[in-house]
Amino acid sequence: MTISVIPRNYENLYGLLLKKEQKLRPKGAFYRVPGRFNGFTKWHHKKYNGWVWLRKAMSGVVVVEIETRDEPNDWQILSAFIGFLGPYFRSEISSISINYPQK
């Protein structure tokens, strides 16, 4: 599943997300996986068996791909990520769209 997070006023959401994750570490639900991924950042979730890939796109849009080992429960990672965005970035986000790929 892919999420597109559209910023309000061309905010640098990607940079803000990385800074917030770093500030919340180790108490936060998501934590960044060390390593270099070409243009991507990978976050694991502490409680649920899954991760998110974050990528900065044009005009400050952040594209997030959600992956889990337990596909029927991918909604848990989705819910956790949206729950992370809401309280911290409400004023910087214009809209969020979710795309479910065809199988």
DSSP string for residues in 12-75: -HHHHHHHHHHHHTTTSSEEEPPS-BTTEEEEEESSSSEEEEEEE-GGG-EEEEEEESSGGGHH
pTM higher than 0.95 for the full model?
no
Q: Region 86-93: what's the mean pLDDT?
A: 93
pLDDT higher than 90, residue 43: yes
Which domains does the chain carry?
Answer: 2-96 (3.30.310)
Q: Region 32-59: what's the mean pLDDT?
A: 88
Tokens 């214009």 label which residue?
A: 94
Confidence grade of residue 69 (pLDDT, cut at 50, 70, 90): confident
Confidence grade of residue 97 (pLDDT, cut at 50, 70, 90): very high
Percentage of the chain with pLDDT > 90?
A: 53
